[in-house]
Amino acid sequence: MILVTVGTQLPFDRLVGAMDALAPSLGVPIFAQIGHGGLAPRNMDWAPMLSGEEFLRRFAGATTVVAHAGIGTVLMAQRWRKPIVLVPRRSGRGEHRNDHQLATCAELRGRRGIYVADGIDDLAVLLKQTLLPAGDDAELDQRLGLVEGLRRQLHRWS
């Protein structure tokens, strides 16, 4: 199952529309959490918003996740070792307040299991390939480094 998510804060109809258009050619079930978008998909199952529990269940059961370039979603993909295809929101299209998702994608592009699609054509190509799961030890080291740095400071204050 492919899980599509656009996060909880802003609609992302360009991504939802692209996945809906691709759905018939992909040959796998797709579920999309479309947020506050105004576009109702026809070719895939969807919901505006799932409960946290239900979202987790779907996430854990997905073979691939397609998402806006939201950090929360990338973290989840790494934690659950899922391949993730990111489509960055663009401020020029009114999809976010600025283009930080482009910067996020520029940094994450090429990481294991993280793929960036700039348009619907890229999405179609990527989703027909075999994708690797996200998450590796170097990323875990970075995470521990941050936690340790904060722990030291908090210890100094306590």
Partner 1 sequence: MIYASTVFEPRSGLPERQLPLRDVNRNAPWQALPAFWEALALVRRIRPAVIVSTGAGPGLLVLVAGRLLGVHTVWIDSVANAERLSMSGWLARRFVELHCSQWEHLADGARTKFFGRML
Which parts of this chain interact with partner 1 (CB under 8 A)? 8-9, 51-53, 55-56, 71-72, 74-75, 78, 97, 100-101, 103-104, 106-108, 139, 141-150, 153-154, 157-158
Residue type, 106: A
Alpha-carbon distance 115 to 134, whole Å?
Answer: 9
When the beta carbons of 24 and 61 are compared against partner 1, the nearer one is 61
- Count of CB atoms within 10 A of residue 97's CB? 9
CB of 76 to partner 1, least distance (A): 8
CB of 130 to partner 1, least distance (A): 23
Measured CA to CA in angstroms, residue 55 lies from 4, 25, 62, 152 at distances of 11, 25, 10, 35
When the beta carbons of 24 and 94 are compared against partner 1, the nearer one is 94
When the beta carbons of 15 and 108 are compared against partner 1, the nearer one is 108
Give the chain's length. Answer: 158
CB of 140 to partner 1, least distance (A): 10
CB of 107 to partner 1, least distance (A): 4
- Yes or no: say if 34 and 47 are a contact pair by the CB < 8 Å rule: yes
Nearest residue to 5 (alpha-carbon basis) of 79, 59, 41: 59
When the beta carbons of 55 and 126 are compared against partner 1, the nearer one is 55
CB of 48 to partner 1, least distance (A): 15
| Close Cβ partners of 116 (under 8 Å, ≥ 6 residues apart) | 69, 85, 86, 87, 88, 105, 108, 109, 122
When the beta carbons of 26 and 100 are compared against partner 1, the nearer one is 100
